[in-house]
């Protein structure tokens, strides 16, 4: 793609952007295809095809060619996530921040759908940390919760709220990631249609929206907590200028993240407050456009010890005893009901989850286990893909690739050789895909209809 096909005034608008080289930038868009990259799920180790490692992410890999992810059962099992390489830098930032903090932390991904950065944060934090993944747009919440379910950990809460709602949780989160809506110029190579949306007016509109989002969520950042800010834009107005505004208007100071010069990342500093930022250009790194920065809130505000969780349920020990055999280390979890369904979350997160539920609209809390009928558990899909399931307590039925695809399509599974009966975890290469009920003369497929493979081409 020639640089002359970029939107009017786009190249000129970047002439003063740190590290920008118009000729090399245009050449990369014309001659270098967007690489295909995946990030391995460390909680579900598997011998997945791997290529060259992404330099700033130990679990990220470049693939030589783009396979059909739709028809890979391991993708549906949550063994990996298809994610753009540059955005994986957030994992490097999070690991650095986590190394600076001793105690268990609470992390917020404010603009989380479809879930790439949430699953990335999940991999970078500890088991005793809590992740809240929020999506502002209601219609995008299902894809977020589906991807979090595939990833497997139970220390995750998903919410659907406007940024201003988080002001109710003052000083609550130790780390807040704002991957802000932006003008999208960093995606021009991967998605050329994004060029049709770009204009200088849209850049200014995005700048104003970014400031509003950041101002709304700022009260929720804990004393001495961290703010990670990122965009997929090259514009100074959406990046360094926002850092200057943050440092001027709020009690925030810059954090310099160590980077290897060989990675090709451009380290920048904002004009006024000299806040550090990190720019990714497709002519300098093997990835798309990204800007990321980290700021720290001064330690002058009161902590969160005054929060109370008012909605603790009275335990139903009889039902909980029926659930426990299905759960590894069952005593480590807090069990609670939502409607007819039982859910579980790490016991250490009980109070924090309650506080979030009291103040926000929650769409997913920990892992949904299922409902109890008599003395039997009708298991939920979330339990099948979660890390807490005790697989020794349920039937396991291994499928061939063809059978797995049929299962994921909710088609009839042919030539399934099993004499077992009852609820069974359907697996591919020992990785759970979901539930089916094995009956004497048929199989009832309980893979969620909304998640099934719709395409007929393989």
CB-CB contact of 46 with 74 (8 Å): yes
Rg of the chain (C-alpha set): 23
Q: In which element (H, E) is residue 73 found?
A: helix 73-76
Annotated binding site: 111-117, 135, 162, 179
- Residues across the chain: 458
State how beta strands 290-297 and 252-255 pair.
Answer: antiparallel
CB-CB contact of 56 with 95 (8 Å): no
The pair of three-digit structure tokens given for residue 431, joined into one six-digit string = 């990785």
The verdict on whether 294 is a catalytic residue reads: no
Q: Using DSSP, state whether 453 is helix, strand or coil.
A: coil
CA dihedral 90, 212, 270, 225 (to 10 degrees): -50
The pair of three-digit structure tokens given for residue 124, joined into one six-digit string = 């970078």
Separation in Å, CA 114 to CA 146, 150, 158: 9, 12, 12
Annotated binding site for S-adenosyl-L-methionine: 111-117, 135, 162, 179
User: What phi-psi label fits residue 19: left (phi over 0), alpha (psi between -120 and 50 degrees) or beta?
Assistant: left
Distance (Å, rounded) from C-alpha 261 to C-alpha 56? Answer: 11
State the sign of the Cα–Cα–Cα–Cα dihedral 190, 192, 196, 202.
positive
Question: How many CA atoms lie less than 13 Å away from 168 in the CB half-sphere?
Answer: 14
Catalytic residue among 57, 79, 206, 232: 232
- Single out the residue of 232, 197, 200, 208 nearest to residue 90, CA to CA: 232
Q: What are phi and psi of 141, to 5 degrees?
A: -65, -40
DSSP-assigned letter for residue 268: E
Separate counts of helices (H) and strands (E) for the chain: 12, 22
Separation in Å, CA 84 to CA 109, 281, 446: 17, 13, 32
Distance (Å, rounded) from C-alpha 390 to C-alpha 330? Answer: 9
Positions marked catalytic: 232
């Amino acid at each position: 793609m020639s640089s002359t096909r970029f939107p009017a005034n786009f190249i000129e608008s970047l002439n003063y952007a740190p590290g920008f080289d118009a000729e090399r930038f245009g050449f990369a868009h014309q001659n270098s295809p967007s690489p295909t990259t995946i990030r391995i799920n460390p909680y579900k180790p598997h011998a997945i095809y791997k290529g060259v490692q992404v330099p700033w992410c130990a679990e990220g890999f470049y693939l030589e060619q783009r396979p059909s992810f739709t028809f890979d059962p391991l993708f549906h099992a949550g063994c990996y996530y298809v994610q753009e390489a540059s955005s994986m830098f957030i994992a490097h930032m999070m690991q650095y921040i986590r190394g600076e903090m001793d105690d268990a932390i609470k992390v917020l991904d404010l603009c989380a759908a479809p879930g790439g950065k949430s699953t990335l944060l999940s991999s970078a934090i500890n088991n005793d940390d809590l992740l809240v993944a929020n999506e502002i747009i209601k219609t995008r919440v299902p894809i977020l919760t589906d991807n979090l379910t595939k990833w497997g950990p139970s220390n995750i809460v998903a919410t659907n709220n406007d940024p201003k709602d988080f002001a109710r949780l003052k000083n609550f989160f130790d780390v807040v990631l704002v991957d802000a809506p932006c003008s999208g110029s960093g995606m021009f190579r991967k998605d050329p249609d994004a060029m049709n949306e770009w204009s200088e007016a849209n850049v200014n509109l995005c700048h104003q929206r970014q400031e509003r989002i950041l101002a709304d969520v700022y009260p929720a950042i804990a004393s001495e907590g961290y703010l990670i800010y990122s965009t997929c834009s090259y514009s100074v107005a959406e990046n360094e200028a926002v850092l200057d505004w943050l440092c001027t208007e709020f009690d925030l100071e810059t954090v310099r993240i160590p980077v290897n010069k060989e990675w090709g990342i451009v380290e920048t500093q904002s004009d006024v407050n000299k806040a550090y930022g990190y720019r990714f250009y497709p002519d300098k790194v093997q990835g798309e456009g990204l800007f990321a920065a980290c700021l720290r809130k001064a330690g002058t505000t009161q902590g969160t010890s005054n929060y109370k969780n008012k909605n603790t349920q009275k335990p139903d020990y009889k039902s909980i005893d029926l659930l426990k055999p299905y759960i590894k280390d069952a005593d480590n979890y807090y069990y609670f009901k939502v409607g007819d369904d039982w859910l579980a979350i790490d016991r250490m997160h009980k109070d924090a989850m309650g506080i979030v539920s009291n103040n926000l609209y929650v769409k997913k809390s920990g892992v949904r286990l299922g409902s109890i009928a008599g003395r039997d558990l009708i298991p939920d899909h979330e339990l099948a893909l979660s890390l807490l399931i005790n697989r020794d307590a349920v039937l396991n039925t291994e499928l061939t690739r063809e059978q797995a695809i049929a299962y994921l399509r909710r088609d009839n599974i042919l030539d399934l050789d099993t004499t077992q009966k009852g609820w069974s975890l359907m697996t591919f290469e020992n990785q759970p895909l979901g539930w089916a009920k094995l009956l004497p003369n048929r199989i009832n497929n309980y893979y969620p209809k909304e998640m099934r493979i719709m395409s007929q081409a393989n």
